[in-house]
Amino acid sequence: MRDILRLLKLAWPYRAWLSAALGLSLVTLFANVGLLALSGWFIAAMALAGINGTPINYHYPAAGIRTLAIGRTLGRYAERVVSHQASLRLLAGLRVWIYRRIEPLAPARLESYASGDLLSRIRADIDSLDNFYLRLLAPVLTALCSSLLFILFLWYFNSAVALATGALLLAAGGFLPLAVHLLGRKPGARVTQTSAELRTAVVDGLRGMEELLAYGAAGRQKERVVELNRRLLADQARLAGLAGVSAGGVGLCSGLALWLALVISIPLVRAGSLTGPQMVMLALFCQAAFEAVLPLPPAFRLLGQTLAAARRIFSLADETPAVKEPREPAQLPETPLLTLRGVGFSYSDSAATLVGIDLDLAPGRKVAVVGTSGAGKSTLLALLLRFREYDSGSMTMAGREIREYDGETVRRLMAVASQQPFLFNATLRENLLIARPEASEEEMIAAADIAGVHDEIAAFAQGYDTPAGEGGVKLSGGQIRRLAIARAILKDSPVLLLDEPTEGVDASAARSLLERVFSFAEGRALLVITHSRIGLEAMDEVLLMDEGRIVERGSHAELLARSRRYRDMWELDD
C-alpha cells in the first residue's frame, strides 16, 4: 500500500490530465453502453410497431443513436489522446524525478549497481509504471463510477436485475482481478527481476565480449543469457495464461448477466410491468455494462510486476547520498586554498583507507602523490572532489570547512582528469566542450595542443568532428587520456587534479606533456597522482603514501637522499 500511495503522490501534479482522461473515459463508456441499449430498444420497438401496425416516432431514438455513435467515436479518440498525453507527461516527469534523486548519489552510491541494472531501473522500470497509471488507476476509477451509475439505472426499472448485475460486476471487477493479482503477483515480480538481470547480462556480455572470447568464457555467458530468457518466458507464459482465464471469466459474467436479465424480465413483460423493448434494452444494457470492468483483470495481473518495478525505483531513489549538502552553502571563495589536517576515511565498516592525511594545496603550488596501488591515492582525490565524505580531521577551503560549500561549488573550482576517463559517444569536439561549452575554437585547440593530442586529431579525416565511439572505442588508451587532460585544461579552473596523466604514454612524450602542463598550471594549484617518477623533480612537494598514510614527504631530491623506501620504489620501477 505504501508503494501505491507514493505512486499516487507522484501523479498528483498531473491530476488535471488524469482527471480529463477519466472524464473522457466515462463519456465514451456511457456512449457505448447507451448505444447498444438504445439500439436494442429501438429495433424491438420498431418490430413491434410493424407487427401491430401502430405508429412510432422514430426521429428522437434515431437521433439519439446517431449522437451516441458519434460521441463514442469522438470520445474514444479524445480519451486515447488525452490518456496517452497524461501518461507520457507523467512518465517524462518521473524520469526527471528519478534523475534528480540519483544524481547526488554519483559516483559513490552508484558503484554498487551494474550499469545494465541502472539502465533497466531508469528506462524499463519507469516504463512499467505506465501499467499503473494508464491500465490500472484510470480503469479502476472508471469502473467504480460507472458501475454505481449503471446499477442505479437498472434499479429504476427493476431491483432484481440491478442486484444480479451488480453481483456479477463485483465478481468480474472485484473478486476476479483480486484472484488474478494473487496468482500473478510472484510471476510478475519475477518477470521484473529476471528482465533486469537479463538486460544486465546482455549489456555486460557485449561490453566485455573481448575478454569473454579471450578467456573462452563466451559460452558460459551465453548459457546464462539463455537460462534467464527461459525463466522469463516461463513466467510470461504463466501471466498470459492468467490473462486468457480472466478474459473468459469476464465474458462468462457478461453472458450470465444478459441471461439473468432475460430470466427476470420475461415474467415482468407477461405481467405488463415491462414492455418488450424495455426487456431487450435491459438485457443488452446488462451485457454492455461489463465493458467497465473488462480492463481490470489484465491490469491486476500486471500489478505484481508494476509494484516490483516501483520498489526497484524507490529503493534507488531512497539511497542516501555519500555527501550531505549544506542547507545554506557558503559563497564561492576567491582563493581556493585547500588545507587537509588529520583527514581520515574508511569504506563502511572496513579498515581505514586514509589515516591522518595532511596536505596543503595553494595557488602556484605543485604537489605529487605517489605510492603503490591501493595506497589510497584515488580515494584522496574523491574526497577533494566531494564525491565522498571524510570521517575525521579537517578539510578547509579558503579557511572554511569544505562541508560548508555545496559539491557543485567545490567542483566548479576544480578540473580533473581521472584515471579512467569517460568519453561519450559523440564527436571529439563535443567531448572536449563538456568542460566549457562557450569555449572558442582557438581555446579548444590550445588545450588539445598542451595535452599533446591536437596533431593526432588534426590528422583524422573529420578532425575535431571525429566520433569518439562508445566509451572512446575508436581511440587508443593514450589518446583517451590526453583528451581527458585537454578537457581539464579547457575548463580553466584554479585547481587542476591529474590522476595518472602519463599512463599509456611513452617516456619522452610523457615528459614533454608534463612540461606543457606545468607551464599551463603556473599560478594554479596542481595535484598529480602518479606511479611514474617523470616530472617529480619539478614538484614543490612529493607525498609517499602506503596503506592510507603519508609515510614520507618532501621534494623529489630530498626523498631520494633520505628515504630508502622511496629510492627502492623507483629502483623496482626501473
pLDDT digits (tens, 9 = 90+) for 216-231: 888 888 999 999 999 9
Q: Taking the model in full, what pTM does it have?
A: 0.78
| H helix and E strand count, the chain | 22, 10
Could you tell me which residues come within 8 angstroms of residue 217 by beta carbon, excluding any fewer than 6 positions away? 211
Cell, residue 64: 439519439
Q: What is the mean pLDDT of residues 413-424?
A: 89
Residue % of the chain over a pLDDT of 70:
99
Q: What is the pLDDT of residue 498?
A: 92
Residue 356, phi then psi, degrees to nearest 5:
60, 45
- pLDDT above 60 for 574: no
pLDDT digits (tens, 9 = 90+) for 40-86: 888 888 888 788 777 777 788 889 889 999 989 999 999 889 988 88
- CA–CA distance, 25 with 33 (Å, rounded to integer): 12
pLDDT of residue 541 exceeding 90: yes
Specify the pairing of strand 414-417 against strand 400-401: unpaired
Q: 529's torsion region: left (phi>0), alpha (psi -120 to 50) or beta? A: beta
Among 32-36, 108-112, 310-314, the minimum mean pLDDT is found in: 108-112
> Is residue 11 within 8 Å of 90, Cβ to Cβ?
yes
Higher pLDDT, 322 or 350: 322
Write the class of the CATH domain 338-572.
Answer: alpha beta
Quick one: pLDDT at residue 216? 87
- pLDDT tens per residue, range 383-417: 998 988 898 999 998 888 999 988 888 888 999 99
- Where in the chain is CATH 1.20.1560.10? 1-318
Mean pLDDT of 83-100: 89
- Binned at pLDDT 50, 70 and 90, residue 28 comes out as very high
pLDDT of residue 571: 66
- Among the listed residues 305, 360, 300, the one whose alpha carbon sits nearest the alpha carbon of residue 335: 360
The predicted model gives 336-344 an average pLDDT of 90
Nearest to 147, CA basis, from 294, 296, 31, 289: 289
**Does 572 score more than 70 pLDDT?**
no
The rounded mean pLDDT for the chain is 88
Closest CA to 289 of 158, 179, 157, 152: 152
Band of pLDDT at residue 349, cut at 50, 70 and 90: low
Average pLDDT rounded to a whole number, residues 375-384: 85
CB 285 within 8 A of CB 37: yes
In whole angstroms, give the CA distance from residue 370 to residue 573: 12
Q: Would the pLDDT of 537 be above 70?
A: yes
Q: Is the model's pLDDT at 133 over the cut of 60?
A: yes
Report the chain's terminal Cα–Cα distance, integer Å.
65
Q: Which pLDDT band, with edges at 50, 70 and 90, does 573 fall under? A: low
pLDDT tens digits, one per residue of 268-292: 998 888 888 999 999 999 999 999 9
Domain with CATH 3.40.50.300 in the chain: 338-572
Give the pLDDT of residue 255.
92
Return the CATH fold of 1-318: ABC transporter transmembrane region fold (1.20.1560)
How is 421-456 classified by DSSP, letter by letter? Answer: ----SSBHHHHHHTS-TT--HHHHHHHHHHTT-HHH
Average pLDDT rounded to a whole number, residues 88-107: 88
Among 78-82, 367-371, 382-386, 468-472, name the one with the lowest average pLDDT. Answer: 468-472
Taking the C-alpha atoms of residue 32 and residue 28, their distance in angstroms, rounded to an integer, is: 6
The confidence band for 175, taking pLDDT boundaries of 50, 70 and 90, is very high
| Cross-strand partners of 416 | 497
Q: How many CB atoms lie within 10 A of CB 470?
A: 12
Could you give phi then psi for residue 371, rounded to 5 degrees? 155, 170
Q: Which residues partner with 404 through β-bridges?
A: none
At 108, the pLDDT band (50, 70, 90 cuts) reads: confident
